[in-house]
Structure 1
Amino acid sequence: MDLQFNFKEIATATMVLFAVIDILGSIPIIIGLRNKVGHIQSEKASIVAAVIMVAFLFVGDEILNLIGIDVNSFAVAGAFIIFFLAIEMILGITLYKDDAPESASVVPIAFPLIAGAGTMTSLLSLRAEYRVENIIIAIIINIIFVYVVLISSKQIEKILGQGGLNVIRKVFGVILLAIAVKLFAANINQLF
């Protein structure tokens, strides 16, 4: 196997994934979950998210083809999910209600917060343009950053305070809304 590491590809893929994962924008959600369940399993969430992303990088197209879904349909569905998450963040309402989990790790942090539809769609797009080994390094870099944010969420909450969290939540809600609109606009024409 011929590995060709390219710093430019790694840097670009890292930045794309960083923007889509948006762990900084998810800080208010993470803190809210921690306050609700008392404990976030940072290691487990990070490892599971990394495994999901690497697995989807290799078999994502095949899985979608197997169940008869094209990448564009997947991207539009992801846009809707991101849209509703953004609405929750901006308006401070809860659209999705679920039984309170005992701990927050795999659901909802690893999936869909970190390795969600937007991330999966981005991975498939990156796979078309960049070499797999460079994308895997980009995933690892992002997961390390995600882990650091998850493990230090209490300290981040103390530094920012409730007012700071509210501002960040609204700002990143608008950014998330813009990502949802862009994802929707870029893929809806391909469906018709």
Structure 2
Amino acid sequence: MELDTAYTITVLVTMFVVMDPIAIAPVFLALTPGMSNAQRRRIAWRAVSVAGFVLAIFALAGEAVLTFIGISMPAFRVAGGILLFLTAIDMLFDRRTKRRKDRADEDDHDDPSVFPIAIPLIAGPGSIASIILLTGEKPGFEGLATVVVMTVFTLAVMAVTLQASGQLERIGKTGINVITRLLGMLLAALSVQFVLDGLAAFGFGPGAG
């Protein structure tokens, strides 16, 4: 039971940090200028629903796709860990938020719920890689159910955060930067652990058997 609890916490922290609801809030505001609270609510829930559908596909079939194209789970764990580490570096140096704002500026659609909010801001390379990595960490129904439940919970927090984005502005840019950097440090540590687990499966590093 202790292992399950540790795994659940790892899944929750990983998905929350990778999706980073706090940092997306200012971008969401930039994508919905002049809209009413009701319109923003609809866009937030639509974006979260689309992102959830995309992530569910990779949770259910991601490892099967890797097997089909001949990529082992340990190899993907190392590659995914490196990808998440690069994401963490971007968070620590505030490059991730700048890219999100650039995508927002390039978007010409009246309804930004599917693109760019759902894809790639919420269901981007980092969150997709995390879903596949986490389901591979604990194969079977229990592991899949844990990942799905924690992802749904994170998406629900995301929806609430987006709807409250106007209030979140009150903490200011400095407050958002502090939170983003703390989350980036957590993600860096988690990504290194993914790499170490992958290397251990190949017989390298601690835990190699």
Report the Cα offset of residue 69 of structure 1: 1.1
Deviations 1:68-124, CA, capped at 9 Å, x for gaps: 111122222221221122112212336969753343323222322773212321123
**Partner of residue 101 from structure 1, selected from 107, 118, 122:** 107
Question: Which of 183, 192, 198 is 1:187 aligned to?
Answer: 198
Match in the other structure for 1:81: 83
CA deviation string 1:29-66 (max 9, x = no partner): 31353355446842233212322333233222211111
Looking at structure 2, the residues matched to 170 and 25 of structure 1 have their Cα atoms a distance apart, in angstroms, of: 14
Q: Equivalent residue for 2:23?
A: 29
Match of 1:60 in 2: 62
AA aligned opposite 2:120? P
Structure 1 unaligned regions, length at least 5:
1-5
**Stretch deviating more after TM superposition (53-62 or 170-179):** 53-62
Give the helix-richer structure, 1 or 2: 2
Given that 1:28 and 1:169 are in contact with CA atoms closer than 8 Å, whether structure 2 keeps it comes out as yes
Distance 1:88 1:52, change over 3 A: same
Unaligned runs of 5+ in 2: 34-39, 204-209
Change (3 A) 1:156 1:24: farther
| Counterpart residue number, 1:162 | 173
Answering whether residue 165 of structure 2 is matched by residue 153 of structure 1, we say: yes
**Does structure 2 conserve the Cα–Cα contact (< 8 Å) formed by 1:13 and 1:138?**
no
Q: What residue is the counterpart of 1:127 in the other structure?
A: 139
Q: Once superposed, what is the RMSD of the aligned Cα atoms?
A: 3.3
Pick from 110, 124, 127 the counterpart of residue 122 of structure 2.
110
SS state of the match for residue 123, structure 2? helix
Q: What's the offset of the Cα at 1:187?
A: 1.0
Provide closer, same or farther for how the CA distance between residues 60 and 171 of structure 1 changes in structure 2, counting only shifts above 3 A.
same
Change (3 A) 1:129 1:58: closer
TM-score, normalization: structure 2? 0.70
Identify the residue that residue 143 of structure 1 maps to in structure 2: 155
Distance 1:166 1:136, change over 3 A: closer
Q: TM-score, normalised by structure 1?
A: 0.75
Cα distance in structure 2, aligned partners of 1:116 and 1:27: 16
- Partners of 1:134 and 1:26 lie apart in 2 by 19
Verify the 8 A CA contact 2:18 2:127 in the aligned structure 1.
no
Contact 2:135 2:143 in 1 (8 A): no
| 1:15 has 2:9 as partner | yes
- For the structure 1 residues 169 and 133, does the alpha-carbon distance in structure 2 shift closer, same or farther, using more than 3 Å as the test? closer
Measured after TM superposition, the shift of residue 150 of structure 1 is 2.6
